[in-house]
Structure 1
């Protein structure tokens, strides 16, 4: 990636993909917000209480918030106006752009590390089941969520010293309005820019990806060995076979979530990492904010934040059952207890949807 300063960017009109980015991100964000609301509501049900589901609920909430923040950013910059200095931008609106973009990075980073917590909890449960009973409980899940939120908040604070809003007429007397540029501190401290690139690329993206790939590989190996022993369970009680099947499905679901994260996040991490290798002044974050390629890269975390519903629905029997209860008024749905390893036990029960639906409506005040 070519390094330089904001002075290399001359005012240009909006063209090419940038004309459509706002509408594409609008569809993705709105869809993702709705789906993550469903996710959070389903994982928070009393029947779904477990340490794993608590982290999944927190993940859904942070994904929802990050999508909303990007929706505000893109709706103003790409639909209401345009990402060009030739267009008038008020000082307030440019502060909104900078704050929402940085908060989007912050909440998305929180989602990333919650995904790591999810992988760690599942790894302990799968590969060290005895330790899992002691360590992977709801209290420790709550502690992990709080620690992730606090640590990512602290880690993203340095990004706020990178840019400032300024009057465009300082550089171009014939243009009115406001834009952003690096702060004087950032311009005078190249090492600070390099540290941010490494923090963003390595700590926020590459290291989590490597850690999750390793954990997923270990879980997949354990799962493969368990499947080889499944014939032993088949000769035992049916409940044992059902529990093993649900145990495997939950592990596969979490591995799928992790792999989607790695595939969609690693390109941004590598690009930030390579940009920081030069140790020179960088315009990488300006590149993410105000370039066509940067806009396309932005779609990757948006898709990552929106895909989980499809994974849950495809691989979780209980998630599908509860979701059907929410959207259907007249049906009888069988929910197999123990069909997933979500710390649930008991025999199969049948619930009539109208009764559950009335309870849901009262909860939502519909």
Structure 2
């Protein structure tokens, strides 16, 4: 489903690079007893750009395949329409992340700071962080919408007309977009670009998030952090877990209560829902820890700088992997998807 690039990790990654290029030690930027975590993060930083670039390229290609296969005549359905929108949202996230990686992770180590922290680069970093946050939120809430739709289907004792399914899908998708946009708006006002003059008179630009780092009680900042942690991470996790649990319970009851024909339909729904179960489990693994950590940063002083920032790259990779893994799940768990993918590949080869 989101990958979402962690909200401020990419911004603060620039500060780590600045200290490293200025020959500061890890101890100069790390407080307390979490020096080992900063050392691991700094060591991984060297490889993060290349790892992320490979994941993004593979993910974009995989999601393009998803979009084509899921929109073939045989596979068109309300559920697959939502999965298609998730693939589009994930691709937007990865497309915005690739320039970020090329600008700030894969670069000449001897590049002057004034060029590395140029105004245009920092502006792109700021815009990219906002866009990826919004696209990730859309992907997350589309996942919730898919879970809601499957739950509604499982509760129905009779076949739902296509027109009604389409109306339900449109309503769920619109709700997902509205929630995502509403929860992303405060983030647009919590950062600003600041100019700094170095000792050699070079001017660099950075993204100022000092209010968040110093636990400033500013209402807008607190609102942004809470929305990001609760609406963007924890609430979707809770809803998905509850819906999946309700799905399992509903299908179990249906298999006992109804006739053979309805049991067969329940079995078919169960097979379809296994894909949803896998998606939700992976989502919980990648999103829940970050959501809990962000929420803890609001109440525990120093946790943001000493733990969340060093883990930023790792959270990014988890989110990017989440964008790629859907294609693998479809291939493993859906025979229809596999067969259609094989047919499309064979047609492409024969045309050549």
TM-score range, shorter chain: 0.7 to 0.9
Contact 1:36 1:64 in 2 (8 A): yes
Counterpart for residue 48 of structure 2:
21
Pairing 1:59-208 to 2, within 5 Å after superposition? 59-80=86-107, 88-130=116-158, 133=161, 137-169=165-197, 175-182=202-209, 190-208=218-236
TM-aligned CA distance change 1:182 to 1:165, over 3 Å: same
**Matches of 1:81 and 1:315, distance apart in 2:** 43
**Matches of 1:325 and 1:243, distance apart in 2:** 27
TM-aligned CA distance change 1:136 to 1:21, over 3 Å: farther
TM-aligned CA distance change 1:320 to 1:243, over 3 Å: farther
The DSSP-based 3-state class of the residue aligned with 1:16 is: helix
Contact 2:213 2:305 in 1 (8 A): no
Q: CA deviation at 1:245?
A: 4.3
Relative to the length of structure 2, the TM-score reads 0.78
Contact 2:90 2:323 in 1 (8 A): yes
Q: How many residues align?
A: 316
TM-aligned CA distance change 1:182 to 1:324, over 3 Å: same
Relative to the length of structure 1, the TM-score reads 0.75
Counterpart for residue 309 of structure 1:
327
The DSSP-based 3-state class of the residue aligned with 1:177 is: strand
1:246-274 Cα offsets, whole Å, 9 max, x none, are 32211111121112111110011001111
Contact 1:17 1:292 in 2 (8 A): no
List runs of 5+ in structure 1 lacking aligned partners.
1-5, 331-352, 359-365
1:279-327 Cα offsets, whole Å, 9 max, x none, are x7x8949986xx4421111112111111111111111121111111111
1:85-111 Cα offsets, whole Å, 9 max, x none, are 687321011111111122111101100
Contact 1:159 1:196 in 2 (8 A): yes
**Matches of 1:314 and 1:117, distance apart in 2:** 23
Counterpart for residue 12 of structure 1:
19
Once superposed, what is the RMSD of the aligned Cα atoms?
3.4
TM-aligned CA distance change 1:89 to 1:129, over 3 Å: farther
Q: CA deviation at 1:70?
A: 1.5
Counterpart for residue 339 of structure 1:
none
Counterpart for residue 271 of structure 2:
249
Contact 1:32 1:67 in 2 (8 A): yes
**Matches of 1:131 and 1:321, distance apart in 2:** 26
Counterpart for residue 4 of structure 2:
none
List runs of 5+ in structure 2 lacking aligned partners.
1-11, 22-41
TM-aligned CA distance change 1:40 to 1:18, over 3 Å: same
Q: Which has the higher contact order (CA 8 A, sep 6+)?
A: 2
Contact 2:144 2:240 in 1 (8 A): yes
TM-aligned CA distance change 1:84 to 1:254, over 3 Å: farther
Q: CA deviation at 1:189?
A: 5.6
Larger relative helix fraction: 2
Contact 1:116 1:212 in 2 (8 A): yes
The DSSP-based 3-state class of the residue aligned with 2:43 is: coil
Counterpart for residue 265 of structure 1:
287
The DSSP-based 3-state class of the residue aligned with 2:203 is: coil
Q: 248-257 or 72-81, which moves further after superposition?
A: 72-81
The DSSP-based 3-state class of the residue aligned with 2:311 is: helix
Q: CA deviation at 1:224?
A: 3.4
Contact 2:104 2:116 in 1 (8 A): no
**Matches of 1:208 and 1:73, distance apart in 2:** 27
Q: CA deviation at 1:147?
A: 3.5
Q: CA deviation at 1:185?
A: 11
TM-aligned CA distance change 1:185 to 1:320, over 3 Å: closer
Contact 1:205 1:266 in 2 (8 A): yes
